[in-house]
Structure 1
């Protein structure tokens, strides 16, 4: 992934929501991810609050994302068993808050449960993406994806 900054995933939980928003706006889209990205919920409320929220969120619903080899689709592992149940289409598009290029993870036509969810991601460091989740047009929360190993699947 290409990146203008080199922010480690470990620094993101300490950032406020406005700082995460500024970082997202100033970062390039990077390449469409491939493989497994470990997800962390970022509430923008400081490291302690993020740590309290991240554990249960990762175990139950926000375990990361597994991108297809061709980069056109992903699956979200959910439940404590990591079932890859929620699909999304992946493509480049304009970001809602600033109109700049980003990678869109669109659940509108692929996920019954999450059909109103749109994620936008940009590269903020080596193998680290910062993402924003929208429910409808409302920003709900931020997250990071860290890519450690290139485990992929074919659709």
Structure 2
């Protein structure tokens, strides 16, 4: 199945998990991606929450594949902050390879956060957020068409 970032906001938690399971590692991304937090999946609130988070808190991530790092674009100003190391490794979700966004050695604020992403459609990654080993939410990263 092919997805768009908007499609993901209409899926339930289990459907998002299935999409993540069906994704591939894909290349470590490079450049700027628009992000969407997916909270309360499968409810009438998902779209509104994603919009509010996008306006006031988190707009996406900017990857530097050559250096294996990224920064998050946060606040309504899109400030680049909160650095993570980026590498391929086994997912906490299912043990299969994914791209890991690891904040443990790069951020005091987010040292307990680990994101995992998989490519689920051209230029579209679906992510899982962990606090230590506890899974919290899904998110998407949409890169511009090549």
> Is residue 2:116 matched to residue 1:83?
no
Aligned with residue 121 of structure 1, among 101, 117, 122 = 117
Aligned residues: 146
Root-mean-square deviation (CA, aligned residues, Å) is 1.5
- Unaligned 5+ segments in structure 2 are none
Q: How high is the TM-score relative to the length of structure 2?
A: 0.93
Go from structure 1 to structure 2 and tell me whether the alpha carbon gap of 1:125 and 1:149 turns closer, same or farther (over 3 Å shift). closer
Distance 2:103 2:56 in 1: 19
CA contact (8 A) 2:91 2:97 kept: yes
Distance 1:47 1:126 in 2: 26
Aligned to 2:95: 99
Distance 1:149 1:35 in 2: 12
Moved over 6 A (4+): none
Q: How high is the TM-score relative to the length of structure 1?
A: 0.88
How far is the alpha carbon of 1:63 from its aligned partner?
1.0
Aligned to 1:153: none
